[in-house]
Amino acid sequence: MTPNVEPRLYVAAADELAGRVIAITGAGSGIGRAVALACAAHGAEVVLLGRTVHKLERVYDEIRAAGSPEPIIAPLDLERATAREYDAVADAIGARFGRLDGLLHNAGLLGDLSPIEHYDVPLWARVLHVNVTAAFALTQVALPLLRAAPDAGVLFTSSGVGRRGRAYWGAYAVSKFAIEGLTQVLAEETSGVSRVRVNAINPGPTRTAMRRTAYPAEAPDSAPLPEAITAAYVCLLGPGGRGMSGLSVDAQAPRP
């Protein structure tokens, strides 16, 4: 499916997401925090999912201070959560709103940058679990709520190394390839039988803690702040993304 708008250039109306409920994992910092603030600024009621409650509380305060709709904090550690905790999150959203209009799988673990030959096996399993299996499990419990929305956008977070493998990126790169596959499979399954759209987004180089860990020698200001890349997220999580599904989208213009 070809995009009818370029998501990274999308200009959302001030109240574009009013009345929409949008859940975001890893909402306490980095890109997740910026997208949560942007969605709330466009009127969404945001469900802040994350493992570090004080970070979620800070984002809650920022959203309230901006005069945006009150968000909801939903602690969820994607490494340790059991089926009961996934169900509890879905039940809480269902009880309060009866539906979910957007779901951004943003939380991610970098793991080690190390050759496959030496990659630590338990760390490999952790990265695959947080980056892929947890996103699958959360999507599974959320699907009835997403189907209950008039139109819903699911957005998985990919990466450049999830499209073209790169030496030493190990479990992280493999997990992002899996995310591209999960996006395609779920997009086909929802197409024609529901109004749920499913896409992947590659943020591109963005100034966050993960970027600093992956590129310690890079000049800090060589990558844009998370706040500068939110247009494509707002587009795909809201009505701007109607008609788009099964795509892998860039949040930034590709670098030359």
User: What residues are annotated to the active site?
Assistant: 172
Of 29-37, 63-71, 93-101, 146-154: span binding ligand NAP (CB under 6 A): 29-37
Nearest distance in Å: CB 228, ligand NAP: 12
249 touches ligand NAP by CB under 6 A: no
Nearer to ligand NAP, 104 or 149 (CB): 104
Nearer to ligand NAP, 130 or 149 (CB): 130
Alpha-carbon dihedral angle through residues 219, 225, 228, 233, given to the nearest 10 degrees: 120
Nearer to ligand NAP, 41 or 76 (CB): 76
Nearest distance in Å: CB 67, ligand NAP: 24
Of 4-12, 22-30, 91-99, 144-152: span binding ligand NAP (CB under 6 A): 22-30
Nearer to ligand NAP, 37 or 149 (CB): 37
What tokens appear for 247 in the block? 């795509």
The only residue of 109, 231, 232, 249 in contact with ligand NAP, by rule CB under 6 A? 109
The only residue of 107, 182, 186, 200 in contact with ligand NAP, by rule CB under 6 A? 107
Measured distance CA(196)–CA(52) in Å, rounded: 29
What tokens appear for 43 in the block? 């009127």
199 touches ligand NAP by CB under 6 A: no
Shortest-Cβ-distance residue relative to ligand NAP: 30
Nearer to ligand NAP, 149 or 200 (CB): 200
210 touches ligand NAP by CB under 6 A: yes
Measured distance CA(163)–CA(252) in Å, rounded: 15
* 37 to 66: interface string for ligand NAP, x by CB under 6 A: -------------xxx--x-----------
Measured distance CA(194)–CA(99) in Å, rounded: 14
26 touches ligand NAP by CB under 6 A: yes
